[in-house]
Structure 1
Amino acid sequence: MKKFLSLGICALLLMLALSACGSGNNNPQPAADTPAAPANGAGNAGANEPAASDEPVTISFMHFKSDVTDGVAKIVEQFESENPNIKVDVQPVKYDDYYTLLKTKMAGGDIIDVFTLNSGAQTKLFADGGYLEDLTGKDFLSNFDDSVLKAQATDGKNYIMPVNAGPIAVYYNKKIFSDLGIEIPRTYDALMAAAQKIKDSGKTPFALGWKDLWTLNMWIGRDLPSNTVLVGNIPDFFDKIETGAAKFADNPAIKTTLAHAMQLYQYGNKDQLGVDYNGSVDLFAKGEAAMLYSGTWPLADIQKKNPDLYNSGMGVFPYPFSNDESLNKLEFNPDASLAVNSKSEHKEAALKFLAFMASKEGGDAWVKNINSLSYVKGSSTDIAPAINDLKPYFDNGETYDSQGYMARTTIDWLTPLGQDMQNLFFGKETEDQVIKNIDDWIAKNHK
């Protein structure tokens, strides 16, 4: 992992490691009429913050966290209770459709005041288009570690404010593993051996919701860069894809990822391409599938649907993408970041919304309602009991961010690759055809 990314999450990982030593709910929320004082002055108007206004205003907030719509709504309600003159029109959108819709709205002059972005390629596209307000130097950014801000900067400027991050790993059913005598797999072959043992017992190894393309792409976008950079030792591959100087056909990792995908498909639930994300979470929560590859997003849903599984019946381990155990560290990625539209007519209110999200109160609200880590300094890290399994990886610094390997790549090669991979599952294309198709697509779209 790149040095600046490692430093960027250092403080956050330390907080998680310390909190993992304790137990119980250490995330008390202040009453609505007694809001907590924001840390480091966040949420208060500073020298370069907008002055308070008593005039009622409504701002639009479009986000791609549709899997936790209720949680986001609760955070917004908390903000509105403390800012009665600001109403927030919340517009959740499924991730698969999000960027297409956002770009369409922007191009059509439909002003969205605040919206979520992923750091890296998507942020650069919108920044280059002149749609992002420059947040560099805003007082509320002092609530984030400097290394995190540098890692999410675009051309040296902060156009987005980091909100949350979390591990991407494999959740597993402890009872199924125990009954079958399966140990935590530390290599890819061990993971497949465990899957075979589970399948032989008559149970479903993996809960897959690949009807939602983003769930498949989430996996591809980590298996492929991990095997490309860490196993294949091609650190500049995705930079070269951007300029047309490299082909997937010349990268051995693409065949590794395609083979892995076919194996996961074979060990998945029935109708993997007909089951969506929510369906896969249901399968795992009901104990019908032994493993679920995901971020922290499904935790709140699992807690609601099966408290016993959530409290003590599930664990989590890093996804072992290779057979070199030393490479199989814990994937730890930034998730949603917030941006303000440079063309917004309500920048004062929009910036106040970001200032709330940057406060300790806002960070704690995100952790409590979304079950994800917040980048805000000092915010709670009490997510779920299973996350304690990852404490050794945080303690020993055994984490990495595969998304950093693709940070400068603005070409969306994941979508066409995921679509072709679905054809591979149905036997409509061979591996060689999938590779040729993606290389042809890159040749037409490289910068």
Structure 2
Amino acid sequence: LGIEIPKTWDEFMAACQLAKDKGYTGVFIAGKDSRQPANLMDIAATTFLASCEDKGYTDQLADGSFDWNNWTPVSQLLMDLKAKGYLNVDCVTCDPVDAAPRMAENNILFLMSSSPDLIGQAQEINPDAQYGMAPIPALNDSYEPAFCGGEREAYGIWKDTENEALCLALLDYLAKPENVKIVCEASGKRPAIQNVSPDLGSVAEDYATYADTAIYPFFDRVYLPNGMWSTMKTIGSALIGEEMTVEESVQTMQADYETLREQN
């Protein structure tokens, strides 16, 4: 499209409009899986609420003083993407297995995902298309784009296992550099173990480009009470299905936050 990678959400929405004008899909969501719209909000919350640290939102979520009106832009983003026609027309019913094939059609501008392995899958289908990874747009020009991240590929042993020796042997096998390399290349993720150099294809350059970009943990895991991922799946699906207003989604988030915070 001849534009730079968006650095703010305003630039992101402008890019989606340009994509729509050119006949492309701005953002792809496989909404048959309720985790997909929830994941988009979880990712967006990184820069709407977490990385703008001077606003103190995450501290307020921790101590219970958060004003839930500040969640409104997160739900509004999802609603606007749908209302403005920036999402794929089958965003409510599309299956996640279609993500990589859709990317390979070279018709999608953005896919908000924590799964870089989709790029590898798409490249297998269409090696000629160009794919890349970029950080989440910043709230505005006063802030910087950021990533959200988690445990990547993690393996452990059940505390009550009756096969500890066998499990330890498996972990020892998985931790061998040659096997870490295989897992990283399959998942498209960087190694957590030193002296491993996987071939990450087109995203390798992006990892290097954004090496100094801040990474925040997945929003719901740290800043929301346990159980609210289910709430986000509910409101995300309802928003793109036009079964809930933004105001109702905010009220639902607040109610579940208060209930689950007390329980936890």
Indicate whether the TM-score tops 0.5. yes
CA distance 1:208–1:233, shift in 2 (3 Å):
same
SS at match of 2:58: coil
SS at match of 2:112: strand
CA distance 1:195–1:371, shift in 2 (3 Å):
same
Aligned residues of 2:46 and 2:146 also touching (Cα < 8 A): no
Number of matched residues?
Answer: 257
Of the two, which has the highest radius of gyration? 1
The corresponding residue for 1:362 is: 179
CA distance 1:234–1:424, shift in 2 (3 Å):
same
State the TM-score, normalized to the length of structure 1.
0.53
The corresponding residue for 1:260 is: 77
User: Any unmatched runs of 5+ in structure 2?
Assistant: none
> In the TM superposition, what is the alpha-carbon distance from 1:438 to its structure 2 partner?
2.2
The structure with the largest strand share of the pair is: 1
1:234 maps to which of 38, 57, 66: 57
Aligned partners of 2:241, 2:42: CA distance in 1, in Å? Answer: 21
User: Any unmatched runs of 5+ in structure 1?
Assistant: 1-176
Q: What amino acid is aligned across from residue 237 of structure 2 in structure 1?
A: Q
SS at match of 1:401: strand
The corresponding residue for 2:144 is: 327
Structure 1 residue 376 corresponds to structure 2 residue 186:
no
SS at match of 1:205: strand
The corresponding residue for 1:300 is: 120
Q: What amino acid is aligned across from residue 270 of structure 1 in structure 2?
A: V
CA distance 1:218–1:336, shift in 2 (3 Å):
farther
Q: What amino acid is aligned across from residue 291 of structure 1 in structure 2?
A: F
Aligned partners of 1:437, 1:354: CA distance in 2, in Å? Answer: 42
> In the TM superposition, what is the alpha-carbon distance from 1:346 to its structure 2 partner?
1.1
SS at match of 1:327: coil
Aligned residues of 1:223 and 1:321 also touching (Cα < 8 A): no
Q: What amino acid is aligned across from residue 249 of structure 2 in structure 1?
A: V
The corresponding residue for 1:283 is: 102
SS at match of 1:373: coil
The corresponding residue for 2:237 is: 422
Q: Deviation digits for residues 192-241 of structure 1, max 9, x if unmatched?
A: 1111011012221122112212222222222224322333332323423x
The corresponding residue for 1:200 is: 21
The corresponding residue for 2:30 is: 209
State the TM-score, normalized to the length of structure 2.
0.87
CA distance 1:336–1:389, shift in 2 (3 Å):
closer
2:166 maps to which of 349, 361, 374: 349
Aligned partners of 1:408, 1:355: CA distance in 2, in Å? Answer: 34
CA distance 1:195–1:362, shift in 2 (3 Å):
same
2:218 maps to which of 388, 400, 403: 403
Aligned residues of 1:186 and 1:325 also touching (Cα < 8 A): no
RMSD: 2.3
SS at match of 1:196: helix
SS at match of 2:160: coil
Q: Deviation digits for residues 359-382 of structure 1, max 9, x if unmatched?
A: 212211212333222211111242
